[in-house]
Amino acid sequence: METVKFFSGEQVPLEMHKVRMVQRLNLLPVEERKKAMEEAGYNTFLLKNRDVFLDMLTDSGVNAMSDRQYAAMMLADDSYAGSETFYKLEKALQDVFGTKYFLPAHQGRACEHILSKAFVTQGSVALMNFHFTTTKALITESGGSVEEIVSDAGLEVTSSLDFKGNIDMGKLQEAFDRLGKEKISFVRLEAGTNLIGGQPISMQNIREVSAFCREHELLFIIDASLLADNLYFVKVREPEFADVELNDITREMGKLADIIYFSARKLGCARGGGILTSSDELYSQMRTLVPLFEGFITYGGMSVREMEAMAIGMYETLDFHVIEQTPIFVKALSDEFLARGIPVVTPAGGLGCHLDATRFCEHLPQTQYQAGALASAAYIAAGVRGMERGTLSEQRNPDGSERFSNMELLRLAFPKRVFTLSQVKYIADRIDWLYQNRELIGGLEFIEEPPILRFFFGRLKELGGWTDKLVAKFRADFGDSL
């Protein structure tokens, strides 16, 4: 394995790149952070970037690009139809996954839109390890529903299991026996399961699910948006693959799935998306939807500059030193938290470090949105913008009742190759302070609640004036520090 060991034995996330362009950051005083949070309706999506010190909302479209990606952007061939850039990207994807066809789309959810239009029928059920917000919303929009069949360990916050994102084969069999082939729109396996702590899936699981779907003639789709981190875990946690080339792993995935789709805001570190298949039939079922919803088949709503960057980014996903960066930084921050007794999802996964708001804010009821409250408190305490991944991110049940999330998490995402170790130490320090003062964190209540994807635009208010008390304690403990 190509890792660098330290003489001291210390585990340090070593950057295998150098920084050649930087962006100035702004850290507001705590009083102004409190005001900004209030103006944003206690919803971190509504904060202005200028008010954010460390933006850990997501890794989507905000990853650091390489010099080779920027250089490639200059070569983009801008034309409505038949752009040379498209063929370059198509070739890159064929090289990486070994699949025949590439359907471009402007981002991951646009791929999901096309998949839902093509394969979801009224009353059908999509089986998946775990839903992603946009996936579920789009399937529901098309009249279908989602059933989650992740391993039980996937829903346990602390575990030592290596592949908590795996589909439970027993649950898949049971769902098939209960629903029957006709009712199942497809089986979807999400790499690096976003909503349950960036937990990976194993190649073994992909093989098993593929074999099951082939035997029972079910459509098998892999969501590869978070594949880069997942590939790292396959290499380091699945012994069979320790010495296997990354490209051999991605090509095997390409053979095992009927369809692979991805958000290229994540995979490939650019901005766009795509659907891959080797099936003539599936390709023709989806093809007309691209010009209808996205743009012509050779750009699909993407800028050709981004497509050039994406092609290079896809090849760079096959470089172990590129894909290891997020997981080793996530682990470094998780380890800092664990050393201070702060509850986090274990084992550390990809995408980001996930604080367990259920335990962090155990004095609050779930009805007061523990993870949302923690997201607001973390911004006030540190200027760090995380993302609530809990009940606020759920849709209400059809009867309007609250659907409580299995986990209440605050995700501190690591955009790839963006943050440094001293910033990790700063976050650990401020969250440690917040943990010591967690009793000061109060609840939230909706004042504006949109019916769909409410976490994007919803506005809330704090209950009982707790943010003033938090700011006063910050000042008492930190003096005039930012």
Q: State the residues that interact with ligand PLP by CB under 6 A.
A: 60, 107-109, 132, 134, 190, 194, 223, 225-226, 263, 265, 273
Give phi and psi for 188, each to the nearest 5: -120, 130
User: Nearer Cβ to ligand PLP, position 98 or 301?
Assistant: 301
Cα angle for residues 300, 305, 307 (degrees, 5° grid)? 50
User: Nearer Cβ to ligand PLP, position 47 or 226?
Assistant: 226
Catalytic, out of 86, 97, 119, 132: 132
User: Cα–Cα distance between 200 and 354 in angstroms, integer?
Assistant: 14
User: Cα–Cα distance between 136 and 148 in angstroms, integer?
Assistant: 11
User: Cα–Cα distance between 358 and 365 in angstroms, integer?
Assistant: 9
State the pairing for strand pair 384-385/259-263.
Answer: unpaired
Give min distance, CB of 309 to ligand PLP, in A: 15
Give min distance, CB of 220 to ligand PLP, in A: 16
Asked about 132 being catalytic, the answer comes back as: yes
User: Cα–Cα distance between 477 and 173 in angstroms, integer?
Assistant: 56
User: Cα–Cα distance between 400 and 119 in angstroms, integer?
Assistant: 27
Q: Which residue, 329, 446, 427, is CA-closest to 386?
A: 427
Residue 340 CB: number of other CB atoms within 10 A? 13
Give min distance, CB of 110 to ligand PLP, in A: 7
Asked about 389 being catalytic, the answer comes back as: yes
User: Nearer Cβ to ligand PLP, position 137 or 364?
Assistant: 137
User: Nearer Cβ to ligand PLP, position 13 or 272?
Assistant: 272
Give min distance, CB of 343 to ligand PLP, in A: 23
User: Nearer Cβ to ligand PLP, position 66 or 263?
Assistant: 263
Asked about 266 being catalytic, the answer comes back as: yes
Catalytic, out of 77, 95, 117, 133: 133
Residue 393 CB: number of other CB atoms within 10 A? 22
Task: Give the residue closest to ligand PLP by C-beta.
Answer: 108
Q: Which residue, 164, 123, 162, is CA-closest to 142?
A: 123
Radius of gyration over every alpha carbon of the chain, rounded to an integer in angstroms: 22
Length of the chain equals 482
Q: Decide: 353 and 419 in contact? Cβ < 8 Å.
A: no
Catalytic, out of 51, 223, 258, 335: 223
Give min distance, CB of 413 to ligand PLP, in A: 9
Contacts of 436 (CB under 8 A, 6+ apart): none
Give min distance, CB of 108 to ligand PLP, in A: 2
Asked about 87 being catalytic, the answer comes back as: no
User: Cα–Cα distance between 18 and 287 in angstroms, integer?
Assistant: 41
User: Nearer Cβ to ligand PLP, position 303 or 437?
Assistant: 303
Annotated catalytic residues are: 80, 132-133, 223, 266, 389, 455
